[in-house]
Structures are given as C-alpha cells and as structure tokens.
C-alpha cells in the first residue's frame, strides 16, 4: 500500500508529461505515462470534438488499467482553414505525420494568406476518470494567437514554432516553457483543473491513492 497520489497521463508523449507535471507539482501528484504500462490499449480517437476524444481516452484506458487516468485532447484551429486542423492536428499531414511535416503543410496552405487573416487558437480539453471509467472532472480552455510565415524558436512541440503570441511578438517556440506554461491553452486548462482537483482532494484526501 502506498500513500502516494498517482495519475496516469493517457499518452506516450514525454514532453506533455513533463509540461503537465510542472503544473501539477503543487498537489504532490506523481504523473506517469503509458510508457509505464506495457499493457495499455490504443484508444481510437474518433470523436467529433476535443472533449469527446479526451473522455474516450481517459475512460477506456482507466477501465483497462484499473488506474486514475487523465487524458487531454488539444489542437490548433486556424481561422483561414475554417478551424482546421482542429481535432486532426496531430495527423494533419497524414497517418505518418511528424511535427515537421505538419508545420510544412500548414505553411503551404497559408502561403498566400496575409497576416491579418492568419488568426488561430489552440484548444485543450482535459478529462479525469476514476478506475471505473467515470468522469470525475473535465475542463477546457483556449489560447489565441497568429500563424507566422516561418518557424521561430526551438522550444515546445507541435505547432509551437509557428504560433505567435501577439502581445509578446514571439512564438511559443521562442518564449520557452515557463512563459508558455502561463499563457498556453494547456497551462490555463491545467490551472483550472488543479483548482478544482484541489477542492476534491480537500473533500476526500484518499482520492487518487492507489492501493
């Protein structure tokens, strides 16, 4: 038996884990990824919204692993592309997509689009499910910006080198993890999540403890 609070993050993405772990630090929660669970299943993300996909990933994985699972679905919505790539952000350039190929395709599609029409926003939806697959908590938030004409900076992942924060005149790729954690869709969603989770833990201190 252990008194450590633990949540499994429903992804293999270590960068996402590191980013979320920093934001969850105040609650002394150990955040693990699916890399720690060889028997984790592959959940089909066939929902029609970020919320549906996040809930599917959290619920199905929680039941399969018998663990508390936090899943998030996030993506980039570009005004000039009528909200695309949206829920298909990770595989925008095909099933074998990489960050590089996705960024290349986005730049190609926006090649002739002027600055004033390159508005975009990131969305992050977070869902936490208990080991029985019940949704215990979910939040969603956004971050607005603009798509640049070329990559800037090497921090972050995904579309970060192209996503400009207007007030700072820099991309997430230039701003680095600390500032991104304050401004990003994921940062804002996680802070809201942490506030609500803290309230739940005050009501039930045994929540998240794996026996």
Q: Reply yes or no on whether 115 is catalytic.
A: no
Q: Is the dihedral of CA 14, 17, 22, 26 positive or negative?
A: negative
Half-sphere exposure of 45 (CA within 13 A, CB side): 20
> Choosing from 3, 18, 46, 73, which is the catalytic residue?
73
| Architecture in CATH for domain 5-203 | Alpha-Beta Complex (3.90)
Binding site, annotated residues for Mg(2+): 73
Binding site, annotated residues: 11-16, 73-74, 157-160, 180, 185-186
DSSP annotation of 150: S
Q: pLDDT by residue for the chain (211 residues), tens digit each? A: 346 788 999 988 887 788 778 777 788 888 899 999 999 999 988 999 999 999 999 999 999 999 999 999 999 999 999 999 999 999 999 999 999 999 999 999 999 999 999 999 999 999 999 999 999 999 999 999 999 999 999 998 899 999 999 999 999 999 988 888 889 998 899 889 989 998 998 888 888 876 5
- pTM, 2 dp: 0.88
């Amino acid at each position: 038996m252990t008194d450590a609070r633990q949540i499994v993050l429903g992804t293999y993405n270590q960068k996402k884990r590191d980013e979320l772990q920093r934001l969850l630090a105040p609650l002394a929660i150990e955040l693990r990824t699916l890399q720690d669970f060889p028997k984790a299943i592959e959940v089909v993300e066939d929902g029609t919204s970020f919320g549906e996909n996040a809930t599917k990933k959290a619920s199905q994985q929680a039941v399969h692993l018998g663990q508390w699972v936090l899943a998030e679905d996030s993506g980039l919505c570009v005004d000039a592309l009528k909200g695309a790539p949206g829920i298909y952000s990770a595989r925008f350039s095909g099933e074998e997509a990489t960050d590089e190929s996705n960024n290349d395709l986005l730049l190609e599609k926006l090649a002739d689009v002027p600055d004033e029409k390159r508005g975009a926003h990131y969305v992050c939806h977070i869902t936490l499910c208990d080991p029985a697959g019940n949704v215990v908590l979910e939040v969603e938030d956004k971050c607005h910006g603009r798509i640049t004409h070329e990559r800037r900076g090497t921090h972050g992942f995904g579309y970060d080198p192209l996503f400009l924060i207007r007030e700072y005149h820099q991309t997430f790729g230039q701003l680095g993890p600390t500032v991104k954690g304050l401004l990003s869709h994921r940062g804002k969603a996680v802070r809201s999540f942490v506030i609500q989770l803290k309230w739940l833990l005050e009501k039930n201190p045994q929540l998240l403890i794996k026996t």
